[in-house]
Amino acid sequence: MLIDLRSGNQVRKGSLYSSREYTHIKKCSWPDDRVVVIDTDLGKSGASTDREGFQRLVGDVGMGKAGIVLGLEVSRLARNSSDWHRLLEICALTDTLILDEDGLYNPADFNDRLLLGMKGTMSEAELHVLRARLQGGLMNKARRGELRMPLPVGFCCDARDQVVLHPDRQVQEVIGVFFKTYRRTGSAMGVVKWFREQKILFPRALKNGPNRGQIDWTPLSHSRAVHTLRNPRYAGVYVFGRTKTRKQINGPAQTKPKPMEEWDVVIPDAHAGYITWQEYNDNLKTLQACAKAHGSDRRDHPPGEGPALLQGMVGCGVCGKRMTVKYHSGHGKTVPDYLCQSKSTQYGADKCQAMNGGGIDRAVGELLLELVEPMTLDLSMHVQHEVQARLEEADSIRRQGVDRARYQADLARERFMNVDPRNRLVADQLEADWNEKLREATRMQQDYEEQREKDRLNLDEAARRKIRALAKDFPRIWNDPSTSDKQRKRMARLLIEDVTLTRFPEYARVQIRFRGGQTRSLDVPHPPTAWQMRKTPPEMITEIDRLLDHYTESEIVQIFVQRGRKSAAGCEFNRRIIFKICNTHGLANRKDRLLAKGWKTAKELAIEHRVAQTTIRKCSDQFERRACGGERYLYKLKEDHHPEK
């Protein structure tokens, strides 16, 4: 800091400046109106950059308004080398002197400037030594687990200064239900939605205000849920050094979390916790998997609303990258496609492989139905027990909330009854508080009874029978239209670890790895393309070939219409379609088949037997005829007959 400069008589002669300079200062004096005292940086370290007083000093010196700068210890004006040497450079350019208790310095002189630079370096080193000693003391205390850290809600310190669980039983049960719900849903937002549906509030410790340290009950938010899942204190682990702080170029410091393997202190089982260390690590993996759903790789994507059964679990069998999902419409339905396009999106290359996922999902679903069938009974009992446990936990927490509201109402009543009735100003306020607490207790009691009645109806004997029936009939649950795609994905992820897809010309190889380590391999044929779907099946071509030996094209059309047969394109048969099939596949028509068997036209027989064509057409006792399409016929002379005119 700068001190007041009254006159040049205050300057002592020393060995750090020349006699000429001392004589000049001795003869000079400054009136009070020309002395500026800068004291706006009091309480701030010289190492900081946001100091208004120092900036004003540099500005005045740079504009030549200052002749000398005085201070108790001038090296403390700026305890970092960049600011200090910049000030010395400006003072040298403007012929500004510097004075402290040790002597007078001229920054334009090399020796004085060298000495000032050394003093600034030593001042900066002093800060480093002090900081290192303080950090070392904190680290040693943290390694012993004795450094006091802010405790999250659900913990407090006892009389022996030991960390214990919060004595409020409702706080303990709510936090316990929170972690159980996360293990069941696997999503922080899923926990928030369940708490909102069950009308359960989450505790929050007040850090400021007159009620500091008390528990406040508020709706659970997503940020608070994530913060609770990431806090290792809930696993009974003492940690220190989870973040690192670095100073940015623009001035303010930035704090970033460090990986778990880089934490400075980790002391497992330091105190009681709500979960184990293994459960905490599993929760972090689940959170990390959900966060990767928005990354470039999109691996471990949480179940979404789309129909892709293997979403987030598919790996490429060629390059090993994760495959993404794309949807297209087919026959009025949304069909998934599995693509490996990491090289395409990163380097502009062609897609590694892509395949239709409709048949793959069906094959995997059939395999799951085959595997789940033996365990349906155990599944039924587990589902029923799980539903009952959830409802009992939620009911217990809501009942504790009602008890707390009643306690607050009774406490407000005692305050009102103990006040002097003549002090109406206080009595009126206490009476209003009592009424407010009574209304809150009544509302919570009504909500508790309504929710309890709803839970009882949801789990009566009919509901239990329905759960047993649904669990035993797992295929019907899987194929039920009311079962959402998201629910099917969650059921599949309970059994499947990941799936690897490899495309071959005729089929797709599906390699499945289950949770227990077992593997299965399936070869799923590719679904037909559009032109293949419009292609006439071989069995229909064979049938048309067989019918042409006995019927005309028009008669075959009538047969197919009576049978309700459709063409490959989904249209009703007509003579044009029959002719097109015959021409495409090289089938002889009805007329060519009869001619090959010796049948002839009326004209040919008339020339051969020297009779009129009318005789051939009318003499059915002598000639056989066969229709060959339209109004045309072919004829053949019966055996042992001779035509007569």
* CB 42 within 8 Å of CB 54: no
The residue whose two tokens read 């006699």 is: 19
Two structure tokens written together for 373: 């069938």
CATH class, domain 150-292, is alpha beta
How many residues in the chain?
645
| Long-range contact pairs involving 410-418 (C-beta distance under 8 Å, separation at least 24) | 411/437, 412/436, 412/437, 412/438
The string of pLDDT tens digits covering residues 94-134 is 888 888 878 888 888 888 888 888 888 887 788 788 888 88
Using one digit for the tens of pLDDT, what is the confidence trace for 219-266?
Answer: 998 889 999 999 999 999 999 988 888 877 666 778 888 888 888 888
pLDDT digits (tens, 9 = 90+) for 387-419: 667 677 777 777 777 787 888 888 887 877 777
The residues pairing with 326 across neighbouring beta strands, listed in sequence order, are 337
Alpha-carbon span 636 to 495, nearest angstrom: 72
β-partners of residue 623 are: 637
Task: Report domain extents, the chain.
Answer: 2-141, 150-292, 534-637
Neighbouring CB atoms inside 10 A of 27's CB total 8
pLDDT value for 130: 84
The order of strands in the sheet holding 68-70 is 68-70, 97-100, 103-105
DSSP 623: E
26 falls in which pLDDT band (50, 70, 90)? very low
Cα separation of 338 and 333, whole Å? 16
Fold of 2-141: Rossmann fold (3.40.50)
Q: Which of 9, 302, 267, 6 is nearest to 142 (CA)?
A: 267
CA dist 215 and 203 (Å) reads 6
Q: What is the pTM of this model?
A: 0.50
- Among the listed ranges 90-104, 121-135, 174-188, 375-389, which one has the minimum average pLDDT value? 375-389
Distance CA 300, CA 429 (A): 57
**Rounded Cα gap, residues 317 and 247, in angstroms:** 45
Rounded to 10°, the helix 461-472/376-418 angle is 150
pLDDT in tens, 208-219: 878 788 888 889
- 611 in Cβ contact with 645 (< 8 Å): yes
pLDDT in tens, 125-160: 887 888 888 888 888 888 888 888 888 999 988 888
Region class of 366: left (phi > 0), else alpha (psi between -120 and 50), else beta: alpha
